[in-house]
A and B are shown apart, each in its own frame.
Chain A
């Protein structure tokens, strides 16, 4: 849906304006939801990047860690490989990467999501502006109608 110009808005009557307003609000809702989800995903990727960094400072067979075997079962053990980690790259593929590669991978993901977030934010602002324009035109029309009714 392209931006409605000022001329068109004035031509529309009140019910049509209501419709356009409702449609814009729904789109805005969807966009805001997607924005929140992307933010969450970005947070998780940043978390993974930090975890990889933390592995960087450790030595194998050094300290004891609690190894999760299921969501409620932990066993004491030691890190056996601090050079490589396994990264889930999506669609059921798992790749063994060195810590540097993994770190690079996650940071790339974080940047990619950041770019998408920026684009999304711009769309949201545009839609919000359109919504404000529609609301102001609606208010003008309402005032006109009330003046006509009083005459």
Chain B
């Protein structure tokens, strides 16, 4: 967790927070303790904000991934049925609580809803390729998001420790100054 020079590049551009070894390095005449503490607080709130965003993104991804997996499974099933060359009877969702029966004839193509009012027709193999690549991207993003969340947790803890150290150092300074002047 500590060590400002662990990894020179931060994953996806999240700034690494430096660990305050010697408070005197950070506090000087030009930057009194209050200013330093305020900067630390700002950094902490920025990290927390990023954390909230990432949590949201992770939730969305965790919902989408099963959907994509289901779709891939369906297309593979269609490919199998295609070889039988007999129509498939199924119940499909006509409305929220309403289902109807339909007959699907093997046509070699499926239609994929890509979002933003766009739907395209794909052959089975192309559809499987597209969906598998979407699935991989989503799983990769999820992994990255979870890594980033752990990293952020570390940085937030580091900054909180920094704040505590600077504050304690300041208290000690004031006590020493009082002793000297007494």
Which A residues contact B (CB, under 8 angstroms)? Answer: 44-45, 47-48, 51-52, 55, 61, 65-81, 84-89, 94, 102
Contacts and interface: CB of A to CB of B under 8 A. Distances in A.
B94 A85 contact: yes
Contact of B74 (A73, A81, A89): A73
12 contacts: A48-B95, A48-B98, A66-B111, A67-B104, A68-B93, A72-B68, A73-B71, A76-B105, A80-B103, A85-B94, A86-B100, A87-B97
A73 B112 contact: yes
Interface string B82-109: 0000000111111111111111110101
A63 B120 CA distance: 20
Q: Is the interface of B mostly helix, strand, loop or mixed?
A: strand
B116 to A, nearest CB: 12
Nearest to B91: A86
Contacts of A74: 110-113, 119
Given A66-B111, A71-B67, A72-B112, A79 B99 contact: no
Contact of A55 (B78, B92, B100, B104): B100
B111 A73 contact: yes
Given A48-B97, A51-B98, A80-B89, 8 more contacts: A70-B67, A70-B71, A72-B67, A73-B110, A73-B113, A75-B104, A77-B102, A78-B105
Contacts of A61: 103
- The list of the 5 closest CB pairs from A to B, nearest first, reads A88-B97, A77-B104, A86-B99, A81-B101, A80-B103
A51 B104 contact: no
B95 to A, nearest CB: 5
Contacts of B68: 72
Contacts, number: 104
B86 to A, nearest CB: 13
B71 A72 contact: yes
Nearest to B122: A73
A100 to B, nearest CB: 14
B85 to A, nearest CB: 15
B102 A65 contact: yes
Contacts of A65: 102
A69 B95 contact: no
A52 to B, nearest CB: 7
B97 A75 contact: no
B98 A86 contact: yes
